Structure 1
Amino acid sequence: MRLFLFLIWICVGLPAHAASAADATDRRIAVTIDDLPWARLDGITPPDLQARHERLIAALKQAAVPGVGFVNENKLEVDGKVDPRRLAMLEDWLDAGYELGNHTYSHADINEVGVDAFEKEILDGERQLRPLLAERGQAPRWFRHPYLRAGRTAEEKANVASFLQAHGYRIAPVTVDNGEWVWAFAYANVMNAQPDSPEREDLLSRLRLGYVPYMLNKLDYYEAQSIQLLGYALPQVWLMHANELNADCFATLIEATRRRGYRFVGLEEALRDPAYAHADGYEGRYGPSWLHRWAMAEKKPKEFYAGEPAVPKWVMDLADVDSE
């Protein structure tokens, strides 16, 4: 891309300082990973889960970027009791340098359970997390809404926000939203359902090769949205999940993002940007990117949102889902 832009600058005769200014864009991004200790647990044997978890932790360490992992505490349980092996997985995240945040106890949808039950989900989502962090002199301070759904009305949103603030939490927004979970469903489906064969390995390889460019295209899209809306490249907040696909691709994705000119920062640094004080601008059943919420607050026309990269149909088919 940079070579392409350089050739354009030469062809159109733009001054050298224009190229330098473009290269000097301050691209920063914070990594957040949801659904710890593991996004999809059904049908995975304990040895397989441990092996996949260890691959993901190794990838996190290889990538060496700061980040926050968001925990669903019901995924620490087996038959209603906390499994020490799964609780130890959270220790591994902390040892890898990640913060841990609250993602509710059971990945509850506020639109389905209502505010009172949702607030209980928040408290139940810190039963193990709070004492675990206290052992390291920490406390949970980040909260991520499941599905990025914050409430259908301004009153619901305000009530939950006040509850979170009273319990020491900050809401962790997302600007780079994506269909990473669809790619991950497809990858896990192939990995779990198909017998080991050259065809299976070819399909997994095809998914890995397609995933990284898709994620980079999403990043490019939201950078362009930021510049169009705010006039500059916002420090982004990236959404991913704890899954098999990232266990195998995370380090590659991070390196490719670095080659795009991004540097990785903590969530707190990213949120210091004044844009994050903008009004959310959205009440409803869905969970769009905060960039799009801000655009809604400014009543941007439909055309503003055009051009977002979509998950290819062949990946949707493998994931067995109808939409992102």
Structure 2
Amino acid sequence: MSTRHPDQAPSDTSPAPGSAPHKHRWVIAPVFWAGFGVLCLAAQTWVFARWAADGNFHAYPSGGYEISRARQISTLALEVAVITGLLAAAALLWRQSRRAGHVTSYAALFTGYLLCFWTDPYSGITQHTTGHNRYSLNVVTWGPYLPGWHGPLPQIESFLLNAAYPVSLTWVVIGVAIAKRLRHWRPAWSRARTAALVSVIIFCVDLPLESAYMRPGGYAYPNTLPYLTLFEGSWYRMPLTSPITMVVFVTMPVVLMHLYAKPGREIWVLEGSLRLPSPARTPIRLLAGIGFVNFSMLAFQVFMCVGALAGHPAELPSWIDRPRA
């Protein structure tokens, strides 16, 4: 088994004599994902420009809800913790990339998660599916500016919910670490068997991690699924569609790429990008991360929307429910 780290430069950074023509260097997965990343950046620029031009770049008017002093403190504490954690993660990934001499896979994915929050309203494309903390930093939703969005209004977008997207890289890091450890402990196991066990472990890990983010005031689910909802009857209920999405659309795609990466090669979404001309490597790797994560999150939102349609609405406290007209 190769001991090369997935973020190390592959040994064949220069084409060997008699190799494919120079132009074939560009016919690789990272270039196509980077192209999709450009489309995603263009789409969100278009959405936010129209949203801001219509005077929506402001917090939703305060009032109309009740929130306890303890919940105010926990909300502020969670905001501080999230901001601190994201800044620390950005600094760490920047240092790792500098040390590696190129944008690492985690840095590319983190950039994608930072720039995918614009897809959030799609989970409620036809109905209200996520409870935002109204005491948290927030703005008027940009849902109506997304193509095909027909959800109820008014709604808001809170910092804590949208910051949860880059925080979800934690699930990826844990999943990859577990997969590597299992491969070390059980080298005879097939990759499929290892991946199956990792998915079960991440499903179980998600429950306490997500609850730890929700309960201080991160967000809530307004819908419950019969027989498939934990803590049903409480505002911090958790439909099992949530851990399923974290396994299927967030963690396992990256885990599988690590498990099936060829010896001495990078994960598929970035494989071959280090053989591109130097000026193109950094933007292609960052854009590939943006494209891949945005694609995953769009699929995530569709799954959450369909899951909510199968459930039934339940009451939320006013501080985490959508504003009323």
TM-score (ref. length: structure 2): 0.25
Relative contact order higher in (CA < 8 Å, ≥ 6 apart): 2
Higher strand share: 1
Normalised TM-score (structure 1): 0.25
